[in-house]
């Protein structure tokens, strides 16, 4: 047996709320930060299109195991619809496919927005990463293929008109659940108002607990350069995106046992507190084990015992 090759880089773990600028892909931001931190492993918790700016959650090391929870978090967006033309991509990058002189009034927009709140059906844009028969939709769209994407249920918690700076533009704020597309909402709002429109500006202002108040601009991180202590101080703990999962506190010896994949017995008062914190769904037993405020594992509590399913090697 040959020796296992050592992974290049440092064992950096945690989340970083980056304020992504426009005209750069999410993948490129990950590459820049992976080099900056000299990290062994990095990924993002939900893509932002190049034309969009705002909150891009970056996971390092063991935090990449929690990326799905970042993707599932509620998100807030501020976006601008430009009236007068629709494009094939539903944003300003695309080719114009229809034009109209209709300019919806402020009152008409306010009146229609409640129809887009709640559990709604939405057809994702053809220029999206949705897979159709094993192919990415945006690849099929670029190749000029004819295809349909089925509608899916998404949840919109809030939608409000923020501003109408002129007759050609409307600025809207929306808070949504997972799988939601701003570009699809802009398309559907325009259609409902008998107008043509596309997204001309898009900013993501929040992803779960990560918001503008705790985000750092990419340029500021690059300016930190070789100052590893400042870069490390900018990281949030791995459990940042797990804040709505009930947790149990364990001691160091139980933590060591869990890291070997073993179940541990919980003290009665710990189980009692866990029961008080958990959801009403009896099937939902997902639990986070913490030791001295450090994430140890995700797992389930059954019969007074914690059984790990996803262990973090920190």
Contact partners, residue 177, CB within 8 Å, separation at least 6: 72, 74, 75, 154, 155, 156, 157
Q: State the Cα torsion 262-268-272-278 to the nearest 10°.
A: 0
Active-site residue, from 19, 23, 49, 220: 49
Q: Give strand pairing partners of 277.
A: none
Q: Is 23 in the active site?
A: no
User: What are the phi and psi torsion angles at 178 (to 5°)?
Assistant: -75, 155
CA–CA separation, 52 and 200 (whole Å): 9
Backbone φ and ψ for 41, nearest 5 degrees, come out as -145, 140
CA distances from 310 to 42, 133, 240 (A): 18, 31, 16
Asked if 143 contacts 153 with a C-beta cutoff of 8 angstroms, the reply is no
CB-side exposure of 117: number of CA atoms within 13 Å?
14
3-state DSSP assignment of residue 149: coil
* Look-up of token digits 């190049």: 50
Which H/E stretch holds residue 230?
helix 228-233
**Whole-angstrom distance, CA of residue 257 vs CA of residue 94:** 54
Structure tokens at 192: 């409902």
The catalytic residues are 49
């Amino acid at each position: 047996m040959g020796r296992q090759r050592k992974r290049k880089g440092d064992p950096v773990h945690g989340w970083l709320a980056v304020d992504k600028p426009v005209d750069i892909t999410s993948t490129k931001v990950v590459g820049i930060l992976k080099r900056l931190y000299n990290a062994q492993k990095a990924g993002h918790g939900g893509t932002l299109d190049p034309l969009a700016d705002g909150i891009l959650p970056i996971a390092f090391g063991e935090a990449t195991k929690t990326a799905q929870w970042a993707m599932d978090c509620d998100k807030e967006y501020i976006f601008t619809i430009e009236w007068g033309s629709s494009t094939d991509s539903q944003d300003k990058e695309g080719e114009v496919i229809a034009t109209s002189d209709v300019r919806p009034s402020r009152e008409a927009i306010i009146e229609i927005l409640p129809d887009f709140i709640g559990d709604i059906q939405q057809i994702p844009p053809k220029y999206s990463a949705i897979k159709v028969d094993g192919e990415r939709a945006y690849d099929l769209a670029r190749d000029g293929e004819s295809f349909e994407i089925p509608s899916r249920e998404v949840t919109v918690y809030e939608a409000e008109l923020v501003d109408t700076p002129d007759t050609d533009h409307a600025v809207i704020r929306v808070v949504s659940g997972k799988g939601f597309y701003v570009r699809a909402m802009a398309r559907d709002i325009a259609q409902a108002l008998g107008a043509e429109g596309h997204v001309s500006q898009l900013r993501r202002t929040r992803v779960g607990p990560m918001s503008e108040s705790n985000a750092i601009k990419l340029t500021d991180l690059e300016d930190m350069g070789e100052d590893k202590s400042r870069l490390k101080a900018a990281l949030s703990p791995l459990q940042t995106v797990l804040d709505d999962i009930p947790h149990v506190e364990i001691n160091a010896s139980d933590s060591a046992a869990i890291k070997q994949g073993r179940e541990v017995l919980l003290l009665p008062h710990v189980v009692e507190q866990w029961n008080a914190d958990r959801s009403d769904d009896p099937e939902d037993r997902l639990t986070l084990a913490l030791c001295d405020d450090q994430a140890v594992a995700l797992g389930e509590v059954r019969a007074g015992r914690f059984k790990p399913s996803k262990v973090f090697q920190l």
